[in-house]
Structure 1
Amino acid sequence: MKELAIIAENISKQYRLGEVGTGTLTHDLNRFWHKVRGKENPYLKIGEANDRTSVGDSDYVWSLRDINFEIQQGDAVGIIGRNGAGKSTLLKLLSKVTKPTTGSFKVNGRIASLLEVGTGFNPEMTGRENIYLNGAILGMRRAEITRKFDEIVAFSGVERYIDTPVKRYSSGMYVRLAFAVAAHLESEILIVDEVLAVGDAEFQKKCLGKMGDVSKGEGRTVLFVSHNLAAVKTLCNSGIYLKNGKLNFQGKIDQTIETYLNDTNGQIGTPIHLRTDKVGNRKIQINDIIFKDKNNKVISEIFSGDYLKIEFHFEKDANVNLDEMIVACNFADNYENRIVGWVSDEMSHEFGKIQDSIFSLSIPELNLRPQNYNFNYQVSYKSTAPKDFCDVLQNALSLTVLESNFFNPEKKIRLGHSSLIKANF
């Protein structure tokens, strides 16, 4: 039987909104007074779950609450969940970047973490110097780093700039070198957050291959956070699904992903204005979305390559200037991979002339292969920064694309999740 690599016991992490550190002097003194009397921290009894879809009353939020799990040595574990579910917080606690409010971890082996681009790098030092610095931070001896040095540099692909200060590196070069160090040094546990999204497609594939080697070939434990469910399914053999700061499911990776998708897709069919999984400040709010064909008929199915109109029905606050509204939307496959999308501030629009609280996106040819697709949208005001989100909804509704003779009158196109482009051989 495999030995355990990580045991998490009653892990919770509480934050005070708007505060840096523990809060006010009054709170610190109150905590100290309870501690010397042998009583529990009084602020552990208050606070709300980390649910971004509701407006709370408390200044305290539980980013994680009562998390318990065990991970065996050699497992590749995918940690999935919506933004804000607590995934990155969990990895930071494991990496000892911050301490849990309650609970503890038992870890068997050294941990190498890649949480953010350039974590542990000194921008004034060269790539060469940072490899040794990063290795030392991870608990490696200099001889051990030297033995792996050439392999690290070759994998990172930054040989030409290895003696250049890393402050001159692009974010992609940063993450290449940081991942190469973390993956090649001989730690028993490798923790990787979503940072691989910074690299190009070729490097992401290379990283996934290396993580697979680390887990399956070298028997090391890998914890991997990603929104790319296809990559998680390929790499990992088990999974953890976090929801609103709580452990919703742990098990085999297929079951974990299925639970997550059933949960997140479960509200498709509920009227959009009644959906409880929306995110945003509601300055602008979508109440309904309707798919229509070229004859203005309401549809839920469309032939590949046909005209599609997506009609948005909305309401807004009185002081909102619609010229500053930004709408992003996309079609995604069942694994939440975006297949095709549009953003209004990259296109021409006349939002400022809207009179009837309806705007629409017209697509002359919906060039998608036959399959079911989920439609997602994000409405923002003045900027696309999270603080300016008005109404964001994943899996707002679904559309079935039917097979057609897209390329050739005598040939039907195959099923598959991808977009099509008119072309000839």
Structure 2
Amino acid sequence: MGDIAIRTVGLSKLYHTGSKQEPYKTLRDTLTEAFLSPIRRVGRLIRGQATGAAELNEPFWALRDLCLEIKHGEVVGIIGRNGAGKSTLLKILSRITEPTHGFAEIHGRVGSLLEVGTGFHPELTGRENIYLNGAILGMKRADIKRRFDEIVDFAEIEKFLDTPVKHYSSGMYMRLAFAVAAHLEPEILMVDEVLAVGDIAFQKKCLNKMREVGKGGRTVLFVSHNMQAVTRMCQRAILVNEGRIKEDGPAGRVVASYMNAGLLNVPEREWPDPATAPGGELARLRAVRVRDGEGRVADLIDVTSQIMIEMEYEILKSGYVFAPNFGVWNEEGICIFASLDVDPAWLGRRRPSGRYRSRAIIPRHFLKEGTLFVNADLVTLDPMTVQCNEHQVVSFSVVDSGSGLSARGGYNGRMLGVVQPLLEWKTERLDS
């Protein structure tokens, strides 16, 4: 067991849809409670007693008999569809949630960055939360002080260091939370995909820091929908499906298996309720669709047809320059291309609030045959922030039916490359 950092046996977690789950009280909760006044504690107790649990509904197993071992120094990607159980696994390993059955052994100090809002106490300042988190990790005050300036510089929140974190924006909170989790020398670092929202430059900074942590011989668990990040950063990947491990092995092989698993294509996604639509304070995504050359929503499109990617979104606050954009990824987790809204009518202009639809046309004879996945983003420019970053939001398949001229000519074998353009050729006979 000396080389094992994480071990789970029969790990299971049961939820009841419609019921209010009682949170698992961690050591952090216990320690931060001491910072609250008795009046606040009584008030919170009263509010808790006044809130009744919702009526129980259907049981739902978020994890079911999950067994795994991760060695010290491994960098492991956890992948799978939304609702597969990835985040629940990290919450149990981070001692935020307790399992229904089974157990998890953790050998080493854990730094975790899961949901924005976990890990800090809102009434304490940024400075106080840094020292508190270090103390929970078992670090001496002198060791925390030695890393303090590095944490603050990385998080870029020096002006707000002595402000209670409840007044931080979600971006500031996330920057400080990641800086603390990555710099206080955890032996095991767990990161859920909270990095998908926020400043793009800081996302790159975080990924670089995670690579550095992994190369330093520490264990990293990285939950992500970004297959390119997983294959580049992780040696090993674990595919979770319906609460169970479906595949475990080299990252490239598992990612390829996941992307090529024969999942049903989903050419259209809508969010009719704006309150639950993905997005931030400035904008929310309302729909993404794939249409064929006839304008029909389609999950199977011939190479001879145009393809339209359509995004509907709602801008909540006026006065910002928006750049709706999307990326198209293939089954191997490779980004084929990305495209931003360059409509001259709105390019560089600040948009008023309201509902918008943006459409982009992919030309005929461009994409290669296979299953393709679309990531949809809503981004503001100057300053650049990501309001929404939805991975694999829709998918479709491109086929070459052979009904017309294509890049294949008369060849029926496997075409190389990531695109399949029909280029103009001219051939002349020289000996005539």
Q: Is the 8 A contact 2:151 2:180 kept in 1?
A: yes
> Following TM superposition, by how much is the alpha carbon of 1:169 offset from its aligned partner in structure 2, in angstroms?
1.9
Which of 253, 256, 259 is equivalent to 1:258? 256
CA distance in 1, matches of 2:365, 2:174: 33
* Matched residue, 1:215: 214
CA gap 1:89/1:198 in 2 versus in 1, 3 angstroms: same
Aligned CA distance change for structure 1 residues 104 and 212 (closer, same or farther; 3 Å): same
CA contact (8 A) 1:123 1:167 kept: yes
Residue 357 of structure 2: which of 330, 335, 347 is its match? Answer: 347
Is 1:234 equivalent to 2:213 in the alignment?
A: no
Q: C-alpha displacement at 1:125, in angstroms? A: 2.5
Q: TM-score, normalised by structure 2?
A: 0.62
Within 5 A, what are the aligned runs for 1:12-411?
12-21=12-21, 59-216=58-215, 218-263=216-261, 265-267=262-264, 291-292=292-293, 300-302=302-304, 308=307, 332-334=328-330, 335=333, 339-340=338-339, 345-347=355-357, 363=360, 366=363, 371=368, 374=372, 394-398=394-398
Question: Identity of paired residues, percent?
Answer: 47
Matches of 2:397 and 2:301, distance apart in 1: 12
Question: 1:310 and 1:79 mapped to 2: Cα distance?
Answer: 29
Letter in 2 for 1:165: P
SS in 2 for 1:98: coil
Structure-2 residue corresponding to 1:10: 10
Q: Give the 3-state SS of the residue equivalent to 1:88 in structure 2.
A: helix
C-alpha change, 1:87 and 1:375, in structure 2 (3 Å) is: closer
SS at match of 1:116: coil
Shift of 1:309: 5.5
Hey, what's the Cα distance between the residues in 1 that align with 2:158 and 2:292? 52
Which stretch shifts more, 366-375 or 247-256?
A: 366-375
Asked whether the equivalents of residues 78 and 221 of structure 2 are also in contact (C-alpha less than 8 Å), the reply is yes
Q: Secondary structure at the match of 1:90?
A: helix
Structure 1 residue 150: Cα displacement: 0.9
Separation in 2, partners of 1:5, 1:183: 17
Supply the distance in 2 between the matched residues of 1:143 and 1:291 (Cα, whole angstroms). 63
Report the AA paired with residue 253 of structure 2. Answer: Q
Equivalent-residue separation in structure 2 for 1:69 and 1:138 (angstroms): 24
**Structure 2 contact 303–364 (Cα < 8 Å) conserved:** no
Choose between structure 1 and 2: higher helix proportion: 1
CA distance, structure 1, for counterparts of residue 65 and residue 357 of structure 2: 46
1:188–1:220: 8 Å Cα contact kept in structure 2?
Answer: yes
With normalisation by structure 1, the TM-score equals 0.63
Deviations 1:92-130 (A, max 9, x none): 000111111111112211111111224222223222122
The answer (yes or no) to whether the contact 1:330–1:375 under 8 Å persists in 2 is no
Q: Which residue of 2 aligns with 1:389?
A: none
For residue 254 of structure 1, report the CA deviation from its aligned partner.
Answer: 1.0
Unaligned ranges ≥5, structure 1: 23-56, 282-287, 312-323, 349-360, 379-391, 404-414, 418-425
Aligned residues: 312
Give distance in 1, aligned partners of 2:395 and 2:114: 28
Q: CA deviation at 1:196?
A: 1.0
CA RMSD of aligned residues (A): 4.1
How far residue 367 of structure 1 moved from its aligned partner, in angstroms, is 10
Distance 2:340 2:86 in 1: 26
- Give per-residue Cα distances to partners, 1:368-410, cap 9 Å, x unaligned: 97556726599xxxxxxxxxxxxx974233378x89xxxxxxx
Residue type matched to 2:4 in 1?
L
CA pair 187-366 structure 1, distance change in 2 beyond 3 A: same
SS at match of 1:347: strand
188-197 or 131-140, which deviates more = 131-140
Deviation at 1:149, TM superposition (A): 0.5
Which residue identity is paired with 1:174? Y
Matching residue of 1:352: none
Asked if the contact 1:375/1:398 (under 8 Å) is kept, the reply is no
Question: Contact 2:304–2:364 (CA<8 Å) still a contact in 1?
Answer: no
- Contact 2:240-2:247 at 8 Å conserved across structures: yes
Aligned 8 A contact 1:249 1:256 in 2:
yes
Following superposition, the deviation at residue 187 of structure 1 comes to: 1.8
Judging changes above 3 Å, is the alpha-carbon distance between structure 1 residues 302 and 176 closer, same or farther for their aligned structure 2 residues?
farther
**2: CA distance between counterparts of 1:197 and 1:181?**
18
Unaligned segments of structure 2, at least 5 residues: 23-55, 273-288, 315-323, 342-353, 377-391, 401-405, 408-416, 420-432
CA distance in 2, matches of 1:88, 1:225: 7
Shift, 1:68, TM fit = 0.6
Q: What is the CA-CA distance between 1:84 and the residue it aligns to?
A: 0.3
SS in structure 2 at match of 1:346: strand
Q: CA deviation at 1:252?
A: 1.1
The AA in structure 1 aligned to 2:192 is: D
CA contact (8 A) 1:152 1:181 kept: yes
Q: Deviations over 1:156-201 (max 9, x none)?
A: 1222222233223221111111111110112210111111112322
Distance in 2, matches of 1:393 and 1:121, equals 31
Q: How far apart in 2 are the matches of 1:247 and 1:178? A: 29
Secondary structure in structure 2 of the residue aligned to 1:195: helix
Contact 2:292 2:308 in 1 (8 A): yes
Q: Which amino acid aligns with 1:347?
A: R
For 2:349, the equivalent position in structure 1 comes to none
Letter in structure 2 aligned against 1:60 = P
Relative to structure 1, the CA distance from residue 109 to residue 241 in structure 2 (aligned partners, 3 Å threshold; closer, same or farther) is same
Distance 2:166 2:122 in 1: 4
